[in-house]
A and B are shown apart, each in its own frame.
Chain A
Amino acid sequence: MNFKLKDIVPQLITVLAVVLVFGFFTYNAQINMENRGIDFGYGFLSQESSFDVQFSLIEYDGSHSYFRAYLVGLLNTILVSVIGIIIATILGVIVGIARLSPNYLINKFAAFYVEFFRNIPLLLQIFFWYFAALRALPLPQDAEAMFGVFFLTIKGLYVPAFIWQNFNIFIYSIIAAIIAIIVIRAHAKKVQENQGKQIPVFLISIGLIFILPLLSFLIGGVRLSFEVPVLKQLATTSFIYEGGVSLPPELIALTLSLSLYTATFIAECVRAGIQGVGKGQKEAAASIGLTPNQVLKLVIMPQALRIIIPPTTNQYLNLTKNSSLAAAIAYPDLVLVFAGTALMQTGKAIEIVSITMFTYLTLSISISILMNWYNKKIAIQEK
């Protein structure tokens, strides 16, 4: 009994403290809001927002609801996070491996990159890429076409729009290719386990992913044409490009700064991971006759990944949360659109901040769950 009590009491005290603290803040907020005549409620979400947003992945204008504005901000946050994570990972892996390169120049250059970008505050980097780099870009009328169709200007990057015919057939062909690759890989594994014969899965996979979509063009009736942006004059010295797709400079600057910043940390994770695998492992693998490629793929990487993944997960979470610095350079993310404009127009500070916090929490937990699942998958399988 005594022993049990000792176990339970601290738990009870913790729960009580949490409840009391939350209760106090809720009560306090309630009293203060009542005194100041502020209503509490989430009803505003269905009201007309009556403000426009610069850049949106879904159809939106001021006649939609505040909830729709929330979705616009959320999707923009997810967009910049996903692109940022992909670029940061690719760059981070390359730089991490480069730091271990025996080539002096590559090695030092990678080290310089890491030390330079991870030691400057992110907000300053965002300002640099947005304001300093933006000023250096040409006005639309002075922009030189890259490859004849891309235009990088102070008002954004204009790229040709893809205009598809029978787009669904093209998608089916890609899905078919992916299914075929999975089947072939499973088959190849079985063949190797049973007969020790190796099938060149990689080459076959590459062939499939190219040939099937190509067939969809040749016999499936899929057609692709491009709509190239065309310069349009608004006033004597003011121009824009019309047609095509325009990527706002805010998105480009934000993605660039987030990726370059986070890649430095991922590079260090990768370096630590590879260096964390014992030298003996590599030598042992080589001694049983594996090729250098096989050594990396079958022996080094599976072990290194176990070291790399957990700290890299942190970096992914950081990148997602850091994307809220977008507000400084007018990229319409969740914080700017919802916790900014919508909060101002409605005055519903507590409601909106709580929704925003909950949303970031959900995003972070989703990334964590995904990465933990992957981490578990590559962990040592004890039999």
Chain B
Amino acid sequence: MFKYLKQLTSLVAMVAVLFTFTTESMAAKKSKTLKNTQKKGFVRCGVSQGLPGFSNADAAGNWTGVDVDVCRAVAAAVLGDANKVKFTPLSAKERFTALTSGEIDILSRNTTWTLSRDADIGLTFVGVNFYDGQGFMVRKSSGITSTSQFKDGISACTNIGTTTELNMRDFFNSKGISYEPVAFEKADEVVAAYDAGRCDTYTTDKSGLAAQRTKMKNPDEHIVLPETISKEPLGPVVRQGDAVWEDIVRWSLNTMIEAEEYGITSANADMMKTSDNPAIKRLVGAEGELGAAFGLDNDWSLRIIKQVGNYGESYKRNIADTGILPDRGPNQLWTKGGILYVPPAR
């Protein structure tokens, strides 16, 4: 009885997959996540509860941000439509459990790649979409312009469940300063408490500080101190154990970055099909069979570029034009003095 049921479900699944994609391959059969995603018709993506520039919902419930764009790129690649994403806002505390328990399939929520997270808790980091570092924000009126002016008894507002809490302790310990950590579960409450004057400083990733600053009652009253106290490579995460899905997410991100490197944008992607450069032709699906390895058609990367844009477009749209961090800093291509460097798509 069970045997037939199982066969029946896999038959239904296969028919559903065949309807959306004619190129059913071994890879798709091997990846449960890919199969489920194509069956459901949307990518299940975990994002933040509202961090401008990274993942933020407007009043109509439309999500935007560089983290959001990673999920949209995956949707464009595997489903053909970048809008077929179901976003689940998660607190820092909930995010990993949501991923490991199978509630979401990609976690793209300004999450720091660390050894213990990668190795310990059933997660796999697929890459870095933003190089960040932890910093401090203070009130301009305090006269503090550097962390060297911090004194014993300083109170610091932050989020629980992040690397921030650990870095903060390392930092204050190494300086020999006693401090009062005030840790909230949600970012909005951290901002509210700091804004009210509960804390002397607010500490989190610098991109987060820049983004949250725009939410303050009077953003001009606050400054981000120049010091960076940690390395925070932020990137998308998937569940351990589905290598094909992992590859799809990794190369969706890589495609966006490499497209920028070769000057392929959402506007000129179709024209690039006739380019002389074989690397460009491969990225827009005019040469090679790159999609087959994931069980996807050959236009998967073209769709990403056309529907979501390259990394530079995504950064400009979400982070630079919104005034959060106009300067790309380390998040510039390696060819332009940054550290964004991805393996070649071939």
Contact = CB atoms under 8 A, between A and B. Distances in A.
Interface of A: 32-33, 35-39, 50-54, 62, 131, 134-135, 139, 154-155, 232, 234-238, 240, 242, 248-250, 327-330, 332, 336, 340-341, 343-347, 349
Given A38-B121, A235-B151, A238-B142, A52 B160 contact: no
Interface in B127-172: 138-139, 141-144, 149-151, 153-155, 157, 160-162, 165-166, 168-169
Nearest to A348: B121
Interface stretch (B89-97, B268-276, B316-324): B89-97
A49 B27 CA distance: 42
Contacts of B240: 36-37
A329 B179 CA distance: 18
A234 B184 contact: no
A234 B48 CA distance: 34
Contact of A54 (B117, B139, B154, B183): B183
Contacts of B293: none
B122 A341 contact: no
A108 B187 CA distance: 41
Given A36-B122, A38-B121, A330-B182, A240 B193 contact: no
Contacts, number: 131
Contacts of B160: 327, 336, 340-341, 344
Q: Which 9 A-B pairs have the closest CB atoms?
A: A347-B121, A344-B161, A236-B143, A36-B122, A235-B142, A38-B122, A237-B141, A234-B151, A330-B184
B189 A242 contact: no
Given A38-B122, A131-B196, A240 B155 contact: yes
B143 A37 contact: no
A162 to B, nearest CB: 21
B193 A237 contact: no
A154 B142 contact: no
Contacts of A332: 183
B143 A237 contact: yes
A382 B286 CA distance: 94
Nearest to A134: B196
A165 B335 CA distance: 71
Given A52-B181, A336-B185, A37 B165 contact: no
25 contacts: A36-B240, A51-B169, A52-B168, A52-B169, A54-B180, A54-B182, A54-B183, A131-B196, A139-B197, A154-B197, A155-B198, A234-B142, A234-B200, A236-B142, A238-B142, A248-B182, A250-B182, A328-B186, A340-B183, A344-B162, A345-B166, A347-B96, A347-B116, A347-B117, A347-B120
Contacts of A51: 165-166, 169, 181
Contacts of B101: 32
Interface string B294-336: 0000000000000000000000000000000000000000000
Given A52-B169, A54-B180, A330-B182, A35 B241 contact: yes
